[in-house]
């Protein structure tokens, strides 16, 4: 499959994620959109890694991108665990997950 298809899919996923982060006010949906953007970057890393390091007969060709994707997934999981803990505490205090409430934390 040509790399252009992967690039088009990744750009589409990343754009949907950016629009979701900018438009939505629900913290959980914002987290889902951030995960969508991270997965778009992961898709590009694996696609470029496989395309540019493809060597016939070498099963480990392109594994660099997959290692980066693994680290990105670990960081994303840590981010989600901390973020969801903050959202749960925010919901317990305000009975809402609206991110406009976080503006009060500036003071």
Question: Is a pLDDT exceeding 90 seen at residue 90?
Answer: no
Pick the CATH number of 3-102 from 3.40.50.2300, 1.10.287.3510, 3.30.420.40, 1.10.3470.10: 1.10.287.3510
The residues pairing with 98 across neighbouring beta strands, listed in sequence order, are 26
pTM of the model: 0.77
Dist. CA 35–CA 97, nearest whole Å: 18
**Residue 9: band (very low, low, confident or very high) from pLDDT cuts 50, 70, 90:** very high
The domains of the chain are located at 3-102
Q: What pLDDT is stored for residue 55 in this prediction?
A: 65
Distance (Å, whole) CA 17 – CA 31? 9
Average pLDDT, the chain: 86
Query: Is residue 97 within 8 Å of residue 91, measured between CB atoms?
Result: yes
Task: Tell me the pLDDT tens digit for each residue of 29-80.
Answer: 988 999 999 999 999 988 888 887 766 667 677 788 888 889 989 988 998 8
């Amino acid at each position: 499959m040509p790399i252009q298809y992967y690039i088009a899919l990744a750009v589409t996923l990343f754009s949907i994620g950016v629009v979701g982060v900018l438009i939505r006010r629900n913290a959980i949906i914002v987290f889902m959109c951030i995960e969508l953007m991270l997965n778009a970057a992961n898709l590009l890393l694996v696609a470029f890694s496989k395309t540019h390091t493809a060597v016939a007969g070498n099963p480990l060709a392109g594994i660099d991108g997959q290692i980066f994707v693994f680290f990105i997934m670990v960081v994303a999981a840590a981010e989600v665990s901390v973020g969801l803990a903050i959202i749960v505490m925010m919901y317990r205090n305000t009975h809402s997950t609206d991110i406009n409430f976080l503006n009060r934390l500036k003071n």
